[in-house]
């Protein structure tokens, strides 16, 4: 394989068949404080064998602290951490990091500069027999596509190659679980996308359970079997990438996972009356009959709506903002109702600022909704 070349990603669905229902990690009402600051509060989480779970959230939400608690680099103040049903932290018990069978890939990669790639990978295998150690290192260098770079030192490797060496080193002792702390933050944008696909392939081929931490929404949605969205020291929602994006349980989750606009409406039988016109009830996810004649807010993302040039009799808003993004253009429209909504158009569609437009819902999927003014959708949702 040529230097810097990545293997083609496998055609694998997000919910890999390698994932089982067996729980290998449990966090039970974990709490952690630093001085008077509460960083984690009553956090509970279960991770299944073979899955890739990503802790996603803004800076300061507690995701990295959670990872350090799992690794054993921090002790919880309250609650328990269990690996394979055995307590490793809590109830006056604490198992040190080196005895947990957990590998960690740090965002700085932390390679030893005076060791070659092969020697870095072999670092945690000092107790193995020479023949077994050499075979394991060779196997891993082939897995990460660096079989021709085993004698190179870190400074001779690209950022992506260094990351793959760090990943191979963490996998070398055959850990039961792999923890990745912001694994792509040190890479440039183009390489970051390629490496996400490569790292997912490697993890799935080894069958190891992995927990990743990131604040990058696209990264979390693209590599994970499940995503846990964190905010202020707790998990707001945990589910598949598709469900947390399309059916968020809180306005925070909706807004953190991409652009989100909320349009008020009133439920009238088979439709919802909004400033965008009538939206059929069948096009709103799980809107139970008990919400007839009540006020709700529809979640509308930029690709759910389209703005059309229109005369005053048909228009319902005015373009107040335009941002060119290359392949697409993001428009912000102030509706006559006073609400503001964002629309995503092809780069060839140009609408002038201050232009009157008609905005219509053009989504090909069900829209999410929230009771008017409520932060969480803690309400009855009709069966799918």
Q: In what order do the strands lie in the sheet with 261-268?
A: 277-280, 271-274, 261-268, 295-300, 369-371
Residue 152 phi, psi (nearest 5): -85, 145
pLDDT at 183 over 70: yes
Q: Are 133 and 122 in contact (CB under 8 A)?
A: yes
Contacts of 17 (CB under 8 A, 6+ apart): none
pLDDT at 3 over 90: no
Confidence of residue 16 (pLDDT cuts 50, 70, 90): very low
Mean pLDDT over 337-349 rounds to 95
Mean pLDDT over 279-301 rounds to 94
Mean pLDDT over 355-380 rounds to 86
Helical residues (DSSP H) of the chain, grouped into ranges: 63-71, 117-122, 130-143, 159-171, 189-206, 217-223, 241-246, 251-256
pLDDT at 372 over 50: yes
Confidence of residue 13 (pLDDT cuts 50, 70, 90): very low
Confidence of residue 14 (pLDDT cuts 50, 70, 90): very low
- Residue among 45, 64, 261 at smallest CA distance from 179: 64
Q: First-to-last CA distance in the chain?
A: 47
CA 75 to chain centre: 25
Confidence of residue 40 (pLDDT cuts 50, 70, 90): very high
pLDDT tens figures, 70-104: 999 999 999 999 999 999 999 889 999 999 999 99
pLDDT at 1 over 80: no
Specify the range with the lowest mean pLDDT, choosing from 20-24, 117-121, 324-328.
20-24
Confidence of residue 18 (pLDDT cuts 50, 70, 90): low
Domains of the chain: 23-101+175-252 (3.40.50.300), 260-371 (2.40.50.140)
Confidence of residue 378 (pLDDT cuts 50, 70, 90): low
The residue ranking higher by pLDDT, 186 or 10, is 186
Specify the range with the lowest mean pLDDT, choosing from 4-8, 30-34, 37-41, 91-95.
4-8
Percent of the chain residues topping a pLDDT of 90: 82
pLDDT at 37 over 50: yes
Q: Tell me the C-alpha distance between 24 and 238, whole Å.
A: 17
pLDDT at 8 over 60: no
pLDDT at 358 over 70: yes
Q: Tell me the C-alpha distance between 232 and 256, whole Å.
A: 13
For position 382, what pLDDT does the model report?
A: 63
For position 280, what pLDDT does the model report?
A: 95
Mean pLDDT over 18-29 rounds to 88
Mean pLDDT over 13-25 rounds to 67
Q: Tell me the C-alpha distance between 228 and 217, whole Å.
A: 11
For position 379, what pLDDT does the model report?
A: 55
Mean pLDDT over 300-311 rounds to 94
Mean pLDDT over 212-236 rounds to 95
The residue ranking higher by pLDDT, 130 or 20, is 130
Computed over every residue of the chain, the mean pLDDT equals 91
Q: Is the pTM of this model over 0.75?
A: yes
For position 188, what pLDDT does the model report?
A: 84
Ramachandran quadrant class, 101 (left: phi over 0; alpha: psi -120 to 50; beta: rest): left
Q: Tell me the C-alpha distance between 108 and 40, whole Å.
A: 24
Specify the range with the lowest mean pLDDT, choosing from 13-17, 73-77, 249-253, 370-374.
13-17
């Amino acid at each position: 394989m040529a230097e810097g070349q990545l293997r083609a990603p496998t055609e694998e669905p997000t919910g890999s068949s390698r994932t089982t229902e067996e729980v290998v990690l449990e966090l039970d009402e974990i709490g952690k404080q630093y001085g008077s600051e509460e960083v984690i509060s009553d956090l509970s989480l279960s991770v299944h064998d073979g899955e890739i779970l990503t802790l996603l959230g803004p800076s300061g939400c507690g995701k990295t602290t959670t990872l350090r608690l799992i690794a054993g680099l921090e002790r919880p103040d309250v609650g328990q951490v269990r690996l394979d049903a055995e307590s490793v932290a809590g109830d006056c018990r604490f198992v040190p990091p080196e005895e947990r069978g957990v590998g960690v890939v740090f965002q700085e990669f932390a390679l030893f500069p005076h060791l070659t790639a092969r020697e870095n990978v072999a670092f945690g295998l000092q107790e193995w027999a020479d023949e077994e150690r050499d075979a394991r290192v060779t196997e891993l260098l082939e897995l990460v596509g660096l079989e021709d770079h085993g004698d190179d030192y870190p400074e001779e490797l690209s950022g992506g190659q260094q990351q793959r060496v760090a990943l191979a080193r963490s996998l070398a002792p055959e850990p039961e679980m792999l923890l990745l702390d912001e694994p792509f933050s040190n890479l440039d944008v183009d390489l970051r996308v390629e490496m996400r696909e490569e790292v997912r392939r490697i993890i799935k081929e080894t069958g190891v359970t992995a927990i990743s931490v990131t604040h990058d929404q696209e990264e979390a949605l693209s590599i994970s079997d499940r995503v846990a969205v964190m905010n202020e020291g707790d998990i707001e929602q945990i589910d598949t990438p598709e469900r947390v994006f399309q059916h968020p349980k809180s306005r925070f989750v909706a807004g953190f996972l991409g652009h989100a606009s909320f349009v008020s409406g009133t439920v009238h039988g088979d439709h919802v009356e909004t400033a965008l016109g009538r939206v059929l009830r069948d096009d709103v996810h799980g809107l139970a009959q008990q919400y007839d004649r009540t006020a709700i807010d529809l979640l509308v993302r930029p690709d759910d709506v389209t703005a059309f040039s229109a005369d005053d009799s048909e228009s319902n808003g005015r373009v107040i903002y335009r941002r060119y993004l290359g392949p697409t253009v993001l428009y912000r429209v102030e509706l006559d109702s006073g609400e503001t909504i964002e629309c995503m158009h092809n780069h060839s569609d140009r609408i002038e600022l201050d232009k009157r437009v008609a905005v219509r819902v053009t989504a090909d999927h069900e829209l999410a909704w929230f009771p008017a003014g409520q932060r969480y959708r803690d309400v009855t949702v009709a069966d799918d």
